[in-house]
């Protein structure tokens, strides 16, 4: 990737009047800010529908877009909704936090009204789309059935539906035709709105970095539609679960619960499912960050029923066989490997072979020796440096004196040339922008020097994750000028 820089900000964290960031005016305003600040990239989190804990990394579909991110603007513009109908919804009073339940209820009510008004005009095109896109047909039926089953996971449905019996599936498609069409209508609208945002970004010299989770949710259209691709027992439960061993984030490790892939069966189809997944991502993004890239080389298998991740074992992954398939499917779309966590020489070797840039995190730089790979003087040019990611503390929170050992504080001061704690965040920016890393990415919270109350996610916890939002006007000319100065000073044009 060319020498450049960007900002990490989930779409959900954009400001806006309807309870959550969406694909409307505020997305375009943020792109204007990026362009004014000389930023080449907008990095986002997955656009997929989040799970009940609001995580976009556990979604009902790896292909679908979250309808909670749809903007009411285009619906109003073409007469499918009125402004009064949008304003009549109580979107809540806390502009700094997403109330997901309120947002989802309000948007669901609006989208039902819009579909009823446009149904007759759009049904022929929707039926064509459903016939052409297998993932869309599977997802829309899955969602319609899930509604009918009171939200129960697919593996708790009546056996003919759970096992996708052909006759039961055909009868359900006919019985739930209107709900299937509604979900197809919303996915078609999501594609239209996202394409407009991406086109606006391109017109302003901004490219999009998307995020591809390694694993999919056990209760998802992906697993229901193609169970043979996953390691499941006869009842649809994961026979072993994904996660990571004890590490920096958790003494017990992380038990994610995702089903593992049946890599042998996937290889027999030349990784057709993964090819489809990467092709879909390439239509959305200019670069794709593969989360938990170590899973390509080796994966952590946790026995079914385990309470923690301590008892898992590492198993061998497909390695270059998979990356070859991904490269063919990605075309011109760049791939970034999230190679953080447990050191694995095989991962480093695969990155060298594929040419994928890996990641460096400055928050991780000062707790080891002078050859810590996250220290800027140790970077390889083919890397992407972050201050921290959505899973980390903010820079202002992480570099507080009470969070660090005295020898770390001394080394931070010496390395960054910071005479006072108040200078550290700016010095981290300078170190990243001045490094040889191809791309420097910072969270918007760190651009604004916000403390940990603005943290996006704390792994292994539930509650306040994924809720933080920008306030209107927070991305000021002053911050744009500062970033633009860094771009000019360190040649990240």
* Catalytic site positions: 291, 338, 391
Nearest Cα neighbor of 62 from 142, 123, 122, 147 is 142
Local structure of residue 260 (DSSP, 8 states): P
**Cα dihedral 465→471→475→478 (10° resolution):** -120
Q: CA 135, CA 80: separation in Å to the nearest integer?
A: 27
Local structure of residue 468 (DSSP, 8 states): B
Cα 82 from chain centroid (whole Å): 31
Q: Please state whether beta strands 298-303 and 240-244 pair in parallel, antiparallel, or not at all (unpaired).
A: antiparallel
Q: CA 435, CA 383: separation in Å to the nearest integer?
A: 10
> What's the helix, strand, coil split of the chain in %, to 5?
45, 15, 40
Q: CA 32, CA 15: separation in Å to the nearest integer?
A: 14
Exposed e or buried b for every residue in 257-266, given b needs 16+ CB within 10 A?
bbbbbbbeeb
Q: Map residue 371 onto helix, strand or coil.
A: coil
| Residue 390 vs residues 61, 285, 445: alpha-carbon distances, Å | 21, 19, 10
| Residue 140 vs residues 63, 143, 151, 185, 436: alpha-carbon distances, Å | 11, 5, 14, 10, 46
Return the H-helix or E-strand segment holding 184.
helix 177-203
Give residue for tokens 């994966």: 299
Nearest Cα neighbor of 490 from 437, 438, 434 is 434
Q: Are 111 and 89 in contact (CB under 8 A)?
A: no
Local structure of residue 369 (DSSP, 8 states): -
Beta carbons within 8 Å of 219's beta carbon, 6+ residues apart: 60, 153, 154, 155
Residue 123 phi/psi, 5-degree rounding, is -55, -45
| Residue 104 vs residues 68, 272, 292, 404: alpha-carbon distances, Å | 6, 33, 29, 40
């Amino acid at each position: 990737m060319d020498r450049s820089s960007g900002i990490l900000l989930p779409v959900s964290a954009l400001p806006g009047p309807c309870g959550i960031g969406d694909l409307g005016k505020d997305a375009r305003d943020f792109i204007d800010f990026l362009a004014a600040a000389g930023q080449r990239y907008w990095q986002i989190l997955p656009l997929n529908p989040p799970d009940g804990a609001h995580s976009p990394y556990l979604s009902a579909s790896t292909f679908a877009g979250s309808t909670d991110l749809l903007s009411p603007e285009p619906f109003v513009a073409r007469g499918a909704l009125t402004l009064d109908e949008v304003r009549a919804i109580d979107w809540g009073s806390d502009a700094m936090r997403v109330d997901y339940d309120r947002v989802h209820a309000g948007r669901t009510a609006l989208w039902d009204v819009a579909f009823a008004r446009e149904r007759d005009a759009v049904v022929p095109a929707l039926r064509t789309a459903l016939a052409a896109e297998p993932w869309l047909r599977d997802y829309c039926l899955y969602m319609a059935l899930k509604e009918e089953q009171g939200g129960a996971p697919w593996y708790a449905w009546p056996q003919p539906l759970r096992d996708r019996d052909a006759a039961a599936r055909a009868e359900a498609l006919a019985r739930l035709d209107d709900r299937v069409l509604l979900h197809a209508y919303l996915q078609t609208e999501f594609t239209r709105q996202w394409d407009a945002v991406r086109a606006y970004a391109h017109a302003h010299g901004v490219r999009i970095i998307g995020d591809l989770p390694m694993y999919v949710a056990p209760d998802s259209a992906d697993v229901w539609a193609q169970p043979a691709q996953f390691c499941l027992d006869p009842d649809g439960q994961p026979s072993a679960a994904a996660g990571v061993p004890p590490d920096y984030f958790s003494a017990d490790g992380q038990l994610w619960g995702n089903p593992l892939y049946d890599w042998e069966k996937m290889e027999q189809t030349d990784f057709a499912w993964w090819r489809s997944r990467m092709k879909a991502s390439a239509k959305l993004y200019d670069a794709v960050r593969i989360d938990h890239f170590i899973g390509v080389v080796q994966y952590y298998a946790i026995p079914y029923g385990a309470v923690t991740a301590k008892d898992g074992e590492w198993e061998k992954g497909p390695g270059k066989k998979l990356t070859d398939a991904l490269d063919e499917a990605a075309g011109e779309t760049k791939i970034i490997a999230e190679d953080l966590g447990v050191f694995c020489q095989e991962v480093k070797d695969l990155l060298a072979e594929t040419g994928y840039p890996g990641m460096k995190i400055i928050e991780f730089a000062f707790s080891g020796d002078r050859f810590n790979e996250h220290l800027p003087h140790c970077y390889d040019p083919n890397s992407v440096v972050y201050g921290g990611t959505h899973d980390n503390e903010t820079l202002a929170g992480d570099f507080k004196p009470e969070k660090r050992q005295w020898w770390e504080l001394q080394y931070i001061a010496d390395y960054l040339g910071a005479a006072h704690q108040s200078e550290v965040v700016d010095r981290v920016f300078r170190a990243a922008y001045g490094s040889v890393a191809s791309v420097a990415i910072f969270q918007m919270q760190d651009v604004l020097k916000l403390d940990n109350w603005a943290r996006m996610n704390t792994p292994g916890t539930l509650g306040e994750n994924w809720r933080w939002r920008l306030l209107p006007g927070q991305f000021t000319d002053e911050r744009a000028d500062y970033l633009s100065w860094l771009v000019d000073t360190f040649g990240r044009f």
